[in-house]
Amino acid sequence: MLLSAHVLRQGPFGAPDLNHSFTQEAAFDTITFFVFTSSFLTTDNISNLTVAHPPLHQLQQAITNLANYDFRWIKEPNPEWAMQSKINPANNQHSLLAYSITT
């Protein structure tokens, strides 16, 4: 359940209670994108990693497929956004990919 804007404004900034944490432990999954795109690993190293941990293959495939994709259109404002009745699935996917690549 999401808190209302009013409740958020009235409460303190940060975690809503002691059961919430906004920290993350160091993990390989956190830095995999940067390792793959840094040229630190050879093609053989990356292939071996994707065999050892199959979900990495999907990440590597997305990096390869989108290496030359121009995401700049996403930052352009859409003055007709309020009139949309649904989100174009292609735009939704591209926005998600741009977010995951830039964060």
Indicate whether 27 and 58 sit together in one domain.
yes
Confidence grade of residue 52 (pLDDT, cut at 50, 70, 90): very high
Quote the domain boundaries for residue 27: 20-68
Indicate whether 64 and 75 sit together in one domain.
no
In a domain, 4, yes or no: no
Indicate whether 37 and 52 sit together in one domain.
yes
In a domain, 3, yes or no: no
In a domain, 51, yes or no: yes
- The pLDDT assigned to 51 comes to 93
Give the model confidence (pLDDT) of 56-95 as tens digits: 998 899 888 888 888 787 778 878 777 878 777 777 666 6
Q: What is the pTM of this model?
A: 0.54
Indicate whether 32 and 63 sit together in one domain.
yes
Confidence grade of residue 101 (pLDDT, cut at 50, 70, 90): low
More confident residue, 46 or 19: 46
Indicate whether 29 and 59 sit together in one domain.
yes
DSSP per-residue letters across 6-55: HHHHHSPSS-SSTT--------HHHHHHHHHHTT-S-HHHHHHHHHHSTH
Indicate whether 73 and 57 sit together in one domain.
no
Residue 31 CB: number of other CB atoms within 10 A? Answer: 11
